[in-house]
Amino acid sequence: MFEVKTQAYANKREHYADLAQQAQGLLHGEPSLIANAANFSALVFHSLPGLNWCGFYLYDGTELVVGPFQGKPACIRIALGKGVCGAAAQTRQTQLVRDVNAFDGHIACDAASQSEIVVPLVRADGSLLGVWDVDSPHVARFDAEDRAGMEALCAVFMEALAA
Ligand code: SME
């Protein structure tokens, strides 16, 4: 059985480093995209404070389609370039949005969401797998340390699939 740790951490960096190790242990040796995406979402959702949604949008060759996630039911399809997820997919740059109400074209799946971070997931061959989307009911929940931490977590996720 996998136990999500609930200990207190000295700082965010330490928390993300520990989370990356937990993710590695959870995903290691399992090549199933759906299994790993589901467990990864559950691990992050139950480990980090102040989240109301986290999960995957997977690229089907045309648009982003919702994948495994934790939180309320979400929008199903998002076109490239639309909303924060679509921007991350199109630009292949992490999108850190301090206030979604100030982001032109933000797609409100859950009215509670106030800030979010979306990391693009790009395979070693350069093709787009999808995006990792994390939402918070607090304005400015995510900072540069969250960005570095989320990108490191996503690297663990992508490496597990490639192994
Ligand atoms: N926030 C996203 C839409 C997806 S939901 O938040 C789950 C966006 O604007 O891309």
Cα-to-centroid distance, 135 and ligand 1 (Å): 8
Cα-to-centroid distance, 92 and ligand 1 (Å): 16
User: Are 61 and 89 a contacting pair, CB within 8 Å?
Assistant: no
Q: Rounded CA gap, 75 and 107, in Å?
A: 8
Question: Residues with Cβ within 6 A of ligand 1?
Answer: 53, 74-75, 78, 83-85, 106-107, 109, 113, 116, 133, 135
- Please tell me whether the overall predicted TM-score, pTM, comes out greater than 0.85 for this model: yes
- pLDDT tens readout for residues 97-142: 999 999 988 888 888 999 999 999 999 999 999 999 999 999 999 9
User: Are 118 and 93 a contacting pair, CB within 8 Å?
Assistant: no
Residue ranges and CATH numbers for the domains of the chain are: 12-162 (3.30.450.40)
How many helices (H) and strands (E) in the chain?
A: 4, 6
Closest atom of ligand 1 to CA, residue 87: 10
